[in-house]
Amino acid sequence: MVKVALIIGINYTYRDKKTQLSGCIYDAHRIRNMVIRNLGLSEEDVYLLTDEYEDRVTKQSILDTIENLKSLQLRTEDELLLYYSGHGNSVMDTNGDEKYGKDSVILPSDYIENGYISDDDIHIWLQDTSCKTLLLFDSCHSGTIGDLPWTFVYQEPNELNIEKVREVNMKNTHIYALSSSLDTQTSWEVYNKQLKESYGVFTNMFLYILESHQYDVPILKLFEQISKLLYQKHSKSKTKQTPILSSSSRIPEWRITK
C-alpha cells in the first residue's frame, strides 16, 4: 500500500497585509511532520506547498500538483491525504448542484489575478480517484468543499444529523472530507503566547485528538470528538465554528492508522 499527501498552507505572505493570515504555514508543517513521523509516509511521498519563502502557491501550481497526483495511478488500496489551510469563501452556484445555492471555494495566493478553485473543480478531480481519499480543509465556508453526497453534522454534543445533500453517484465509496466549518461559517486561528505561533483551531484539535488515540482512530469517532471540543469551546461565544464530515458513502469507514 502506498500513502501520499498533498499539504497546502497559504499565509498570503507576499500579498496585501489586509489579506494575510498567520498560522497556515505553521499548520502545514505540523501536518507534514505528523504524517511522516506518525502515519508512515516517506518524505518523498509528501508534497508541500507553502508561500513561506516565495509566492508559489498559485492556482496553477495547485492544479499542476493535483495533476501530478493523478499520474501516480494510485490503486484502490492506496491512501491519499489532501490538507488545505488558507482563505476560503462562498460564491453563487451557477450550475444548480448546491442545495443552498452557493459553491465553496478556496483562494490560491494569486486569487485576485487568477481566481479561485471551486468545489466543482475539486469534485471533478475526486470523480477520477480510485484510492482511499481524505480531504482536510481548515478554511472558512469549507463545509461541502468536495461536493460529496452525504454530510454528517453534530447540531448538539450528542445529536448527529445525517443528510444526503446531493444526488450524485461516486464510483469510489471511500472519499471523505473533514471541514473546519459549515458553508455559512468562518474558521478561526488563535495566537499561542508560549509558542509565539498562530494556528487553526480546527487543525490543532485534529492533531490533539489523533495524538490522544495514538494515531489509530475511525474517522467518525475522530469527527465526533472534534465536534464536541469545538462545541464546548464556542458554546458561549459569538464565533461559532461547526465542523462537518462529508462522505461518498452513507457509512464512513475510513480509519486513520499508522
User: Which residue is catalytic, options 24, 87, 131, 174?
Assistant: 87
Q: What is the per-residue burial (b if ≥16 Cβ within 10 Å, else e) of 111-120?
A: beeeebbbbb
29 is catalytic: no
What are the contacts of 58-64 at 24+ separation with CB within 8 A? 58/108, 58/109, 58/110, 58/114, 59/108, 59/110, 59/111, 59/114, 59/115, 59/116, 59/117, 60/114, 61/108, 62/8, 62/108, 62/117, 63/117
Whether residue 90 contacts residue 102, with contact meaning beta carbons closer than 8 Å, is answered with yes
What end-to-end distance do the CA atoms of the chain give, in Å?
A: 12
User: Which residue is catalytic, options 123, 131, 140, 141?
Assistant: 140
140 is catalytic: yes
List the grid coordinates of 94.
451557477
Closest CA to 166 of 97, 94, 245: 97
Measured CA to CA, the distance from residue 73 to residue 67 in angstroms comes to: 11
Q: CA of 65: how far to CAs of 72, 103, 165, in Å?
A: 11, 23, 29
List the grid coordinates of 91.
460564491
Residues annotated as catalytic (active site), given as ranges: 87, 140
